Amino acid sequence: MGRKLVFTSGKGGVGKTTMCANIGIALAMLGQKVVMVDADIGLNNLDVVMCIENKVTYDIADIVEGKCRLKQALIQDVDYPGLYILPSFHNYDTAHIAVSNFKSIIDTLSVGFDFVIIDCPAGIDAGFHRAVAAASEAYVVTTPHISAVRDADKVMALLNSYPLMNIGLIINRVRGDMVVSGDMMTAGDISRLLRCMPTGIVPDDDSVTVKSDIMRHDMECEVKQALMILAENILSGKRHMYDCTNDYRGVFGKLKVKLKKLF
Ligand SMILES: Nc1ncnc2c1ncn2[C@@H]1O[C@H](COP(=O)(O)OP(=O)(O)O)[C@@H](O)[C@H]1O
Ligand SMILES: [Mg+2]
């Protein structure tokens, strides 16, 4: 049986879909067979990030309604033959997909894949419950902003009531220059507030804004290194952390911090 991971958050826009897509790609690069499931029903973010929105013929709703088999709805990635996406549906009332139906789809997928990655909707309503109830591990994504951390805390508390094997923390969009100048919470601060050791720390990087599926692009950038370390941690259980402040230490580093503040 493969591992069933859900990426969740209290606050929207913290990078759940970005994490799902890029960790999925990174795990496929590491030789794992991966399927990503878009549980953010109504907003087909994952389809767009993975550039498959024009390839969607069937979706989760069609499987539940018996219009197609699970295999027919899966879309294979263009670059990685071991990577698939199960699209969310477009015009459907979310209440129609029962927790048990969704769980059964995820369980079936976990038989044929090493990793099932579920992109959870933001918030803590029915969509959250459906996605988390189907998973065996949860990763809470937060940014270092107080509102996101506060919402992550609420989600962590809720997750504790599910029979999950592991609850992890991903701190996304960390600005090394701001951490060094004391203008942003450190990973240690966030980890203490949430009483959870981070599984990964990911820097804020404009390359992600340009290319959301950054892992598949041939670009040298900080964020790719951090995402690969994070994927390796998920795979192996190790806790290597990317140091976002590395470039901002020492005399030249301090100069960089000052320059960043000016421009
Ligand atoms: N590490 C990052 N650096 C820069 N921008 C990021 C990073 N992670 C996510 N983003 C951007 O933040 C926005 C929200 O990300 P998204 O993954 O859609 O969040 P969510 O799924 O939690 O709503 C997107 O525009 C995305 O490109
Ligand atoms: Mg999303």
Q: Does 191 have pLDDT greater than 80?
A: yes
pLDDT at 83: 98
Predicted confidence band of residue 36 (pLDDT cuts 50, 70, 90): very high
* Mean pLDDT computed over every residue of the chain: 92
The neighbourhood of ligand 2, an ion, using CB within 5 A, equals 16-17, 45
Mean pLDDT value of segment 102-107: 97
Which pLDDT tens digit goes with each residue over 204-243?
Answer: 999 998 899 999 999 889 999 999 999 999 999 999 999 9
Strands (E), 161-258: 166-174, 198-203
Predicted confidence band of residue 108 (pLDDT cuts 50, 70, 90): very high
In ligand 1, which atom is closest to the CA atom of 223? 1
Predicted confidence band of residue 147 (pLDDT cuts 50, 70, 90): very high
Element (H, E) at 251: helix 250-262
pLDDT at 95: 57
Q: Distance, CA 206 to ligand 1 centroid (Å)?
A: 10
Residues above pLDDT 90, as percent of the chain: 76
Answer yes or no: are the C-beta atoms of 137 and 234 closer than 8 Å: no
Residues within 6 Å of ligand 1 by CB: 9, 12-18, 45, 122, 172-173, 202, 204-205, 208-209, 212, 223
Indicate which ligand has the atom closest to the C-alpha of 42. Answer: 2
Q: Distance, CA 117 to ligand 2 centroid (Å)?
A: 13
pLDDT at 41: 64
Mean pLDDT value of segment 194-210: 95
In ligand 1, which atom is closest to the CA atom of 209? 27
Q: Does 263 have pLDDT greater than 80?
A: no
| Domains of the chain: residue spans and CATH | 3-262 (3.40.50.300)
Can you name the residues that pair with 119 across neighbouring β-strands?
7, 38
CA 129/CA 124 separation, integer angstroms: 7
Q: Which of 17, 18, 37 to mutate to test the pocket of ligand 1 (most atoms within 8 A of CB)?
A: 18
Q: Which residue, judged by its Cα, is nearest atom 25 of ligand 1?
A: 209
Q: Does 197 have pLDDT greater than 90?
A: yes
In ligand 1, which atom is closest to the CA atom of 172? 1
pLDDT at 42: 57
Q: Which residue, judged by its Cα, is nearest atom 23 of ligand 1?
A: 13
pLDDT at 154: 96
Closest CA relative to residue 142, chosen from 126, 133, 153: 153
pLDDT at 179: 94
pLDDT at 93: 63
Predicted confidence band of residue 258 (pLDDT cuts 50, 70, 90): confident
pLDDT at 199: 98
pLDDT at 43: 62
Using alpha carbons, list the distances in angstroms from residue 178 to 203, 232, 234, 262.
Answer: 11, 27, 27, 13
Q: Which residue has the higher pLDDT, 45 or 144?
A: 144
Lowest mean pLDDT among 84-93, 114-123, 202-211, 234-243: 84-93
Which pLDDT tens digit goes with each residue over 42-65?
Answer: 565 899 999 998 999 998 889 998
